[in-house]
Structure 1
Amino acid sequence: MEEMNIHTAFTLLEPGPVILVTTNDGHKNNIMTISWTMVMDFTPSFALTTGPWNHSYAALRQTRECVLSIPTVDLLDQVIGVGTCSGRTTDKFSAFGLTPVQAECVKAPLIKECLANIECRVTEIMEDQHIVVLEGLKAWFDKEREETRTLHAIGDGTFIVDGQRLDRREMMQPKLPDGV
């Protein structure tokens, strides 16, 4: 093996999928791109990393709610566009041709073009680590969407796209919660 730069080691673990997080500050909708996410349990508990460097963070802290929207590979350019401009100066829904859809449990909108959307409430913000812990309230999935491959950021400007699905449900059954 060859030693690598420890400052790029995060590229080995960068989780994915890349998600879009929508917020509403009481006046307008916004979207931010996030690749630092984590499933916390078999319950609908999630975490993401963000902070004051993202315009949406203020709305996330203030309203304590958001929507996690999961885009597919055909939305890669929109995902990058959303992540490389600021909601302070850009209406990202309009600029990137994305359609806001009213959610049922939160004021932040779903994104129609995404494969799935999860309405969430913030349960904790760990300021020192910039970790936002979320509880999923309601989930939506577009079964009619032809493209279902999600994106995974490497962290260096490149992405991996989901490929073949391998089914080992029978082997894993003893570890899976009921209903999964």
Structure 2
Amino acid sequence: MIQLELSKAFTLMESGPVVLVTTHDGKKDNIMTISWTMVMDFTPVFAITTGEWNYSFAALRKNRECVIAIPTVDLLDKVVGIGMCSGTDTDKFDKFRLTPLQAKLVRPPLIKECLANIECKVIDIVEKHNIVVLKAVAAYTDTARKEKRMVHAVGDGTFIIDGQTIDRKKMMASKLPPGV
């Protein structure tokens, strides 16, 4: 093995799925790209990392709700583009030709083009680490969508695309919640 620069160590673990997070600030909808996500438990509770540098953070803090939309590889250029501009001066739904759909339990919209959408309420913000803890209140998936491969950011401008699925549900049955 060769030693890796410590400043690059995060690239070994960052590869959770890249998601789009929609917010509504009271006036308009916005979308931000997030690559730092975490499943916290089966209840379902999730966490994302963001902060003052993202235009959507003020809406998350104030309104305490969002939608996590899970894009697939065919949307990668839009996902990267969304992350490269600010909602301060850009209508990202319009610029990237994405369709907002009304959510049932939160104000921010779902994204029609995404494989899945999860409506969430903010239950905690860990300011020291810019961690926003979210509780899912509704979830949807587009089972008719042909492309289902998700994208994972390495953190250095490269991405990994989901590949073959390997099933070990029987082997792990005692650790999985019922119905999974």
Task: Work out the CA distance in 1 between the residues paired with 2:120 and 2:169.
Answer: 28
Letter in 2 for 1:170: K
- Asked if structure 2 preserves the Cα contact closer than 8 Å seen for 1:16 and 1:36, the reply is yes
**Pairing 1:1-180 to 2, within 5 Å after superposition:** 1-180=1-180
Q: Which runs of 5+ in 1 are unaligned?
A: none
- Asked if structure 1 preserves the Cα contact closer than 8 Å seen for 2:71 and 2:114, the reply is yes
Letter in 2 for 1:150: M
TM-score by length of 2: 0.99
Could you say what the CA RMSD is over the residues aligned between the two structures, in angstroms? Answer: 0.5
TM-fit CA distance, 1:162: 0.2
TM-fit CA distance, 1:179: 1.1
Letter in 2 for 1:176: L
- Asked if structure 2 preserves the Cα contact closer than 8 Å seen for 1:15 and 1:37, the reply is no
TM-fit CA distance, 1:125: 0.3
Which 4+ runs in 1 deviate beyond 2 A?
none
Identity level (%)? 64
Task: Work out the CA distance in 2 between the residues paired with 1:3 and 1:81.
Answer: 33
- Asked if structure 1 preserves the Cα contact closer than 8 Å seen for 2:15 and 2:160, the reply is no
TM-fit CA distance, 1:23: 0.2
Task: Work out the CA distance in 1 between the residues paired with 2:55 and 2:16.
Answer: 21
TM-score by length of 1: 0.99
Task: Work out the CA distance in 2 between the residues paired with 1:177 and 1:64.
Answer: 27
Secondary structure (helix, strand or coil) at the match of 1:40 reads strand
Secondary structure (helix, strand or coil) at the match of 1:53 reads coil
- Asked if structure 2 preserves the Cα contact closer than 8 Å seen for 1:11 and 1:154, the reply is yes
Q: Which runs of 5+ in 2 are unaligned?
A: none
Task: Work out the CA distance in 2 between the residues paired with 1:172 and 1:166.
Answer: 13
Task: Work out the CA distance in 2 between the residues paired with 1:66 and 1:42.
Answer: 19
Task: Work out the CA distance in 2 between the residues paired with 1:62 and 1:88.
Answer: 16
- Asked if structure 2 preserves the Cα contact closer than 8 Å seen for 1:15 and 1:38, the reply is no
TM-fit CA distance, 1:32: 0.1
TM-fit CA distance, 1:15: 3.2
Task: Work out the CA distance in 2 between the residues paired with 1:146 and 1:167.
Answer: 20
- Asked if structure 1 preserves the Cα contact closer than 8 Å seen for 2:105 and 2:137, the reply is yes
TM-fit CA distance, 1:16: 1.8
